[in-house]
Structure 1
Amino acid sequence: MTDDPSRRNILRNSGVLAGAALIAGVPGGHTAQAAAPRAGVESPVVELPAGRLRGGTEGGLAVFKGVPYAAPPVGALRWRPAQPHPGWQGTRDATAFGPSAPQLYREGGDQVLGTHGSPPFDEDCLTLNVWTPGAGGAKRPVMVWIHGGGFISGSGSMPNYSGETFARNGDLVVVTINYRLGPLGYLYFGEDGAGGNFWLTDQLAALNWVRENIAAFGGDPDNITVAGQSGGALSVAALAGAQTKGRPLFRRAILQSPPLGLKIPTRAESLQRTAAYLDILGAKNVAELRAVPWPRLNAATIEMFGRTARWGYWSTPYLPVLDGVTLDRDPADLLLSGAGAGIEVLIGWTREEANFAFALSEPYAAATREQVLARVRDTFGSRAEQAYTAYEEARPGARPVDVLMDLITDDLFRMPAVALAEQRAARGRPVWAYQFNLPTPAHGGRLAAAHCLELPFTFNNFDKWSQAPFLAGLAPRVRDGLAETMHASWISFIRTGDPNHDPMPQWDRYDRESRTTMALDSVTTAVGDLAGYWRRLHQRR
């Protein structure tokens, strides 16, 4: 990372210790309510530098919800790096989740994932949640989960991401976080001496909070694993740039379906997106936007989709920025050099990632060979015909849209993840790789092993996913068996830096000779160079 004064200021200001006053009366008519302690159960209390916290007890775990880790990013702090909070007087109630970051939300959601948010929503959203088997000096390994959602949706308080299973089954302390999303987290204005990536300053503030406070919850600040999926996995890679050799923020990283194939915009490219956003709202500059209510800011995302979409590409109306202050290199590069290279990494993808966004789309179902071939040329240039044929032959009976989906899966997820594993292996750095292969029968099998499908297996909490249509029809015996295997591997990695456990097949580190990749399916198998054919095809570009 660039060592300039403005960056040092941002990183210093992000190193907050604690939170804010009790959230109440947030917009939308929601008031945070304290859950009544169960009869005969003493509510857990922890003492922090910021003040005293009283949590609740759920299923034998101590749970602390809605704990602020930075000042509310409102008013003059909108589109500013995360700032320290002065703390609170007395005992703060921590039995109710704080509001989620503002985002587009529709009750019932879509036909793949269902809903992906957790009302209520409010700009004052920088809180985290902690699950622990017991507060005190136990020094348990710590897992920090960063949710994904295309940079526009999600929440650390969603039932899907409850830390309950990991805390109980792994004897871990689990932390989930909220951070700024959409225009409030990702717009870049190029103000003098200021960076962008406000989402990243939030996450860094949360990690600093964990580093300084987690011992009070029974966690070991020297044994932290940061895990995330999709946009959350990209975040994990970006946070590696904040590592220092003297006192690293985290020791291990789990990257599930990181979209490392995204081209992160430069300052100039990001300012073009910002100009489009300003035009939508009829505003001249950031000063005018700071006076606009957040619901109106958020509503502009709908038109931003239209202005930024490209045929044959995953839609991302907002993106990180290479601002030279908070982020000066591609996130994947931050896991290859400096202190980030020493992090132990578990990385993987689903076999048909792109089916999530394209398999149920009627317009894409009607795509022609010529349309898809034009998109293939973006990746393969003069070798597009050869590449199209290779993808077509790999899936018998493939339609043009099937070729397109497999290409997008490789461009955005699989090939960049394989490249990261290759580069870490070449440097002798620890990395384990997996591919999730189990298809879902939902929607006539069209989704196959789509993006996000591995999440309930990772958490082993299908009871929390009742809103997700894409899980319909999975055979319980197969589903639960694979979930137990994956969940135990993730716990083992978090605890020891090694995902192996009995009776799972031996899972060797990815190296340049065997290229071992664990194929996670109804029968889990370690495969040598699983993506070899496609790796070589893409390398010849």
Structure 2
Amino acid sequence: MSHSPDHVLVDPPAGRLRGAVEGGLAVFRAVPYAEPPVGDLRWRPARPHPGWSGVRDATADGPSAPQMYREEGDPVLGGHGSPPFDEDCLTLNIWTPAPDAARRPVLVWIHGGGFVSGSGSLPGYSGATFARDGDLVVVSINYRIGPLGYLYFGPQGDVDEGGNHWLTDQLAALRWVKENIASFGGDPDRITVAGQSGGAVSTAALAGHPRAQGLIRRVILQSPPFGLELPGPDEYLERTAAYLDLAGAKDVDELRALPWQALIGAGAGLFAQTMRWGYWPTPFLPVIDGVTLHQHPAEALLRAGAAGIDVMIGWTREEANFGFALDEGYAAATRDQVTDRIAETFGGPVAAEVYAAYERARPGARAADVLMDLITDELFRVPAVRLAEARAEAGRPVWAYQFDLPTPAHEGRLGAAHCLELPFAFDNFDQWSHAPFLAGLDPAVRDGLAHTMHEAWIAFVRSGDPNHPGMPTWDPYDTRTRTTMRFDSVVTALGDLAGASRLLHGPGSPSA
């Protein structure tokens, strides 16, 4: 290991790296953890990177995973992935206070994005604040998304390698971190994996995976959509057939001959084909293939292999507003439309009664508000509470929170929407200046809440307990008090904060 004012050299087992010194941190970017998944390795399980000789430059971000891209961005996040894109994207970034022998706790961040967007090198996901404020080593990863990460073809030839190529990428990245992170000042025996949305599904899948046993000490699950019904092989192959038709290919071999741009374009067509009114669009999903994934990730967290893992789980109060509140079609939803949608979940005879219950819970609610609260409950809040309940009943550690601070952006229509907690947890609003959904927040309220959340995340990574002197006492969730931390302009620990939703939706498994 050697240093200069601007650069730092490290010698992990994978090979020598030259990183940059940024704001007092040593930062290493675009470090490959797996072989490029190109050519015949497209839609194959990730293979460990063989390493390199000489000094590899790690001072600049590498390409992000191929994905749909609109230069004008979007009205909520302002965009969630930007060029360059390339299939050769299986890399990770590392932030460390120093590549020494200090054996600091390690935080591995897995980005979300509906399984179709995102990048570990997005400015908002910079590990700098966690590394600097918490004396942590932080790793963010890129992995295959969209059709390249989530298409499933069944057995190819005589070998059934399964699907979920995204998951094989993440397992390879986790193994790389385990084997190399000590050279960056990290402790390979104190790894916390954290993710949001689709990244939280990934985090849960890793926590319960046989190939990850012993690699993960803790997990942070931010807004996991555990209410998604994940298809089995036969159901997914129907989706694959529709995709093949859109791509103009008859089989996987023909798809391998197409440029990735054509594959992303066909994925956009699958969006349209799989949309249903009142449901979050998910053209690509994990597949319970019996090879790489044997059960719903929420269920995996209840199995013996994940019993000793510390778990923090939370959601935002109005998750679904992210995807629906700014859509004029949904804003004009009628009572009859929403009642019909409720009937798909609860059955026709009680649909009107359930609608009325949602109205009582939000005085003055429009039909669109009822719909968004229903989707939030189905997809995020109720499955998260069920997981907390089940782990609590088994005597396993779990901490629960709800993010409640609404944004005034877009005349307040977003509320406390999906993704809104991200810049608060990272406490790096300067890296989110492109995001419209933060407009109008009171800086004093914003910064105070961010400090409280950020320090809680750091405390959890370091010790498995999110409590710190700057916040009210946060007790673990149990089935007696059901303590849930409410992150708002005033931070408060409340009993059974999601009780109305929990009781309305009744008992069931976390993945129900």
| Shorter-chain TM band | over 0.9
1:319 aligns with 2:293: no
Deviation at 1:84, TM superposition (A): 1.9
Hey, what's the Cα distance between the residues in 1 that align with 2:425 and 2:402?
Answer: 13
Alignment correspondent of 1:155: 119
Give the Cα separation in 2 of the matches to 1:130 and 1:154.
17
Give 5+ residue unaligned stretches, structure 2.
none
Q: Distance in 1 between matches of 2:393 and 2:8?
A: 47
- Asked if structure 2 preserves the Cα contact closer than 8 Å seen for 1:492 and 1:500, the reply is yes
Amino acid aligned to 1:207: L
Tell me the equivalent position of 1:133. 97
Distance 1:491 1:503 in 2: 13
CA contact (8 A) 1:108 1:467 kept: no
Q: Out of 480-489 and 391-400, give the one that drifted further.
A: 391-400
Name the SS for the 2:144 alignment partner.
coil
Confirm whether residue 84 of structure 1 aligns to residue 48 of structure 2. yes
* Corresponding position: 1:293 with 2:269: no
**Partner residue of 2:181?**
214
Amino acid at match of 2:40: A
Give the secondary-structure state (helix, strand or coil) at the position aligned to 2:105.
Answer: strand
Structure 1: stretches of 5+ with no match in the other structure: 1-36
Summarize the Cα distance change of 1:200–1:299 in structure 2 as closer, same or farther, 3 Å threshold: same
CA drift at 1:374: 1.1
Q: Distance in 2 between matches of 1:108 and 1:206?
A: 32
What is the CA RMSD across the aligned residues, in angstroms? 1.4
> In the alignment, which of 481, 485, 508 is matched to residue 514 of structure 1?
481
Percent of matched pairs sharing the same residue: 70
Matches within 5 A, 1:55-74: 55-74=19-38
Aligned: 1:447 with 2:414: yes
User: How far 1:342 sits from its partner (Å)?
Assistant: 1.4
Residue 342 of structure 1: SS of its match in structure 2? coil
| Aligned-residue offset at 1:536 | 1.0
* Letter in structure 2 aligned against 1:272: E
Asked whether the 8 Å contact 1:457–1:486 carries over to 2, the reply is yes
Match of 1:32 in 2: none
Deviation at 1:122, TM superposition (A): 0.2
3-state SS in 1 of match to 2:208? helix
* Residues 1:539 and 2:488 aligned together: no
The residue type equivalent to 1:258 in the other structure is P
In 2, Cα distance between the equivalents of 1:415 and 1:213?
A: 38
Q: 2:424, 2:450 within 8 Å by CA — same for their partners in 1?
A: yes
| Residue 26 (structure 1) aligns with | none
Tell me which amino acid in the other structure corresponds to 1:437. Answer: D
Cα deviations by residue, 1:168-206 (Å, 9 ceiling, x for unpaired):
000000000000010000000002412000000000000
Q: How far 1:244 moved relative to its partner?
A: 6.7
Higher deviation after alignment, 337-346 or 423-432? 337-346
Q: What does residue 346 of structure 2 align with?
A: 380
Displacement of 1:385: 1.4
Post-superposition offset of 1:533: 1.8
The Cα shift of 1:42 comes to 5.3
Instruction: Tell me, yes or no, if structure 1 residue 232 matches structure 2 residue 232.
Output: no
**Which string of whole-angstrom CA distances, capped at 9 and with x for unpartnered residues, describes residues 490-539 of structure 1?**
00000000000012000000001110000000000000011112211110
The whole-number CA distance in structure 2 between the counterparts of 1:105 and 1:42 is 33
Secondary structure of 2:353's partner? helix
CA-CA distance at 1:362 after TM superposition: 0.6
2:384 pairs, out of 417, 420, 423, with 417
The answer to whether the Cα contact below 8 Å between 1:243 and 1:340 also exists between their aligned partners in 2 is no
1:9-24 maps to which residues of 2 (within 5 A)? none
C-alpha displacement of 1:44 = 1.3
1:139-172 per-position Cα deviation (integer Å, ceiling 9, x unaligned): 0000000000000000000000000000000000
Large movers: runs of 4+ above 3 Å: none
User: Is residue 336 of structure 1 aligned with residue 272 of structure 2?
Assistant: no
Task: Name the structure 2 match of 1:189.
Answer: 153
SS in 1 for 2:11: strand
Answer whether contact 2:192 2:216 (CA < 8 A) is retained.
Answer: yes
Cα distance per residue 1:126-146 (max 9 Å; x no partner): 000000000021100000000
- The aligned residue for residue 437 of structure 1 is 404
| Cα separation, 1, equivalents of 2:191 and 2:37 | 26
- Residues 1:142 and 2:95 are matched in the alignment: no
Equivalent AA in structure 2 for residue 487 of structure 1: H
Distance 2:332 2:454 in 1: 39
Call closer, same or farther: CA 1:525–1:243 in 2, change over 3 Å: farther
